[in-house]
Amino acid sequence: MKLALVGDIGGTNARFALWRDSRLESVRVLATADFAGPEQAISHYLAAQGLAPGSLGAVCLAVAGPVRGEHFRFTNNHWRLSRSAFCRTLGVSELLLVNDFTAMALGMTRLRDDERLPICPGEADPEAPAVVIGPGTGLGVGTLLPLGAGRWKALPGEGGHVDLPVGSLREARLWQQLHGQLGHVSAENVLSGNGLLQLYRALCAVEDNPPRLASPAEVSAAALAGDPVAEEVLELFCTWLGRVAGNNVLTVGGRGGVYIVGGVVPRFAGFFQRSGFARAFASKGCMSDYFGGVPVWLVTAEYPGLEGAGVALQQALQA
């Protein structure tokens, strides 16, 4: 097989790398706004590597949204893709499109020990599903299934849009405030970058305090600096993430462990390790004992989506 390329494409950035001998090479991040479509971005990437169109035998792109049919429209940017036109333009014989959270989940199979921080101790059951959950622009949730013989299957879903679970009177007051603004209150409405800001504004409204912070980054920075309101918001965020992650473990039998991914939580990793996440994660009434020994890790790897795209491509070509 010729050289392969993998990509992880978001709303703002597209990450590309060569995939050779089961390893990433020459990772580069390009702004999607700078290119008319994926073909132009990949042609630019290949030229920078001294490669011409036709050099690639296979491409796997991790993309946000459901993947089916000939045409794909990217969710958070202006790009569109026709499978046949893409392959013709770049001289590619194999194009695999996978959901971005499928790639993220598969990327967990490539982690080194120094690319994850322990949050809850335990020993993963190697034959059980693992939960992968990630607050970022939204809230991604997926399940990673071991198939044996070093093969894996990722089950993407829309678990970020489940109802936000309420576990205390304080949370009920905040839920009521959010419900008045949003109607349906999903987990993603709180457990995302914008959700962190939305939660801060809801708490200010409940306490009848004017909000003075204007971005998720300001909220997390103020919390780490000791601001009491922002600190409570971040604690609530961690607690709600624990409750949602625990619900997913119960739903899929996720004794293979839980991976916290995405760009939000690593920004306050130390706070997260000390937070009420672990308590909320395992506080499930008569099922609380189920969580004994279920490990949870915070993933700090730089390119897990690219790694997962490589795993997806490798498994598809070997099938």
Binding-site entries for ATP: 7-12
Binding-site entries: 7-12
Question: Cα(56)–Cα(50) distance, rounded to whole angstroms?
Answer: 12
Closest to 259 in 3D by CA, of 301, 217, 303: 301
SS3 106: helix
Q: Which amino acid is it at 63? A: V
Q: Which amino acid is it at 180? A: G
Number of alpha carbons in the 13 Å side-chain half-sphere of residue 94: 18
SS3 52: coil
Angle between helices 228-252 and 169-182 (to 10 degrees): 90
Taking the alpha carbons of 94, 95, 101, 103 in that order, is the dihedral positive or negative? positive
Taking the alpha carbons of 225, 229, 233, 238 in that order, is the dihedral positive or negative? positive
